[in-house]
Structure formats: C-alpha cells, structure tokens
C-alpha cells in the first residue's frame, strides 16, 4: 500500500480541488455542466457561511484526491447525516488505499458527530465504484431515484 496523507482542506488547496473536479467531470462525461471556479469553491468552503467541507488526499506532497461533503437531515431518524457530494482519486493513484481511507474517515466523522447516516450517489454505469462501495459495506438503493431542478428549470421559480 502506498503512503498517503489525508487532511481537511485548506484555502491553499482550492486550485488543486478545482482541477480534480474538472478531471471528475471529464471522467463522468459531464464537462459541459461544469461551472465551478476557484472563487466559488473558496466562498462555499471558507467564506462567512460555509456550506460544504472537504478532505484532500496527498501522495508525495501532491493533492491527488478529494471528497466534498455536507450535512443533510433525516426526518425519519430525527438526526443530521453526512452527504458525500464528490469522491475522486486520480486514476494513477487508485488502488493506493486513498479512496478507502477517505470513505473510512468520512464514516468516522459521521460517527463522531452522532449523525444517523452517511450517504452518497453513484452512477449506474460505474461498476468499479459500485463494487468498491459494496466492499466497504455500503448498500446501493436501487429503488430510489434522484430528482433535480437546475438551470432554466430552477430559474422558472424566481420571484
């Protein structure tokens, strides 16, 4: 197993995270939807009202992976939960243990904070990720579907 460092993101990591988000968008064939900038990410990670947190993974002093996550809430459990928005490790560093380390740390954070759940989504065609998550003990919930309003569909509701 390769040695890596896992830590909370700092403002100096923002450009590296944005670069990794771009790589993730390319991997998922979603680059055409990418609007993230360093300024936007910096504001939402470290601004006056942060709405997201991040972990970064380093190998050889270089940020090669990240996780962006935030708090959600389960009315059924009456508890907050941890929602993982993105988990990405550069292809050259997959199977290094970093992805597993990130997921393990996020699960630990959820337990430390007394959250009721740790959830995320996975694309149905990403079979490698699905198998990886299942090996970690995750249950893929096939009966649930994501509903989304974005872009012009969301802007229709502007007052």
Map residue 88 onto helix, strand or coil. strand
Is 41:18 a contact under the CB 8 Å cutoff?
yes
Structure tokens at 11: 């403002």
Q: How many CA atoms lie within 13 A of 59 on its CB side?
A: 18
d(CA 49, CA 66): 21
CA angle 98, 41, 84 (to 5 degrees): 45
Where in the sequence numbering do the catalytic residues fall? 133
- Residue 91, judged by CB atoms within 10 A of its CB (0-12, 13-18, 19+), counts as exposed
Is 66:17 a contact under the CB 8 Å cutoff?
yes
CA angle 130, 120, 106 (to 5 degrees): 100
């Amino acid at each position: 197993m390769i040695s890596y460092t896992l830590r909370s993101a700092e403002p100096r990591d923002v450009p590296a995270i944005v670069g990794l988000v771009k790589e993730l968008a390319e991997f998922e064939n979603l680059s055409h939807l990418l609007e993230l900038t360093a300024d936007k990410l910096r504001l939402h990670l470290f601004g006056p009202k942060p709405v997201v947190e991040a972990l970064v993974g380093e190998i050889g002093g270089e940020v090669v992976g990240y996780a962006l996550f935030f708090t959600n809430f389960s009315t059924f459990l009456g508890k907050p939960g941890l929602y993982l928005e993105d988990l990405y490790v550069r292809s050259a560093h997959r199977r290094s243990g970093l992805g597993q380390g990130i997921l393990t740390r996020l699960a630990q954070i959820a337990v430390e904070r007394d959250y009721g759940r740790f959830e995320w989504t996975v694309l149905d065609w990403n079979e490698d990720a699905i198998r990886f998550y299942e090996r970690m003990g995750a249950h893929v919930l096939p009966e649930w579907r994501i509903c989304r309003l974005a872009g012009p569909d969301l802007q229709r509701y502007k007052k």
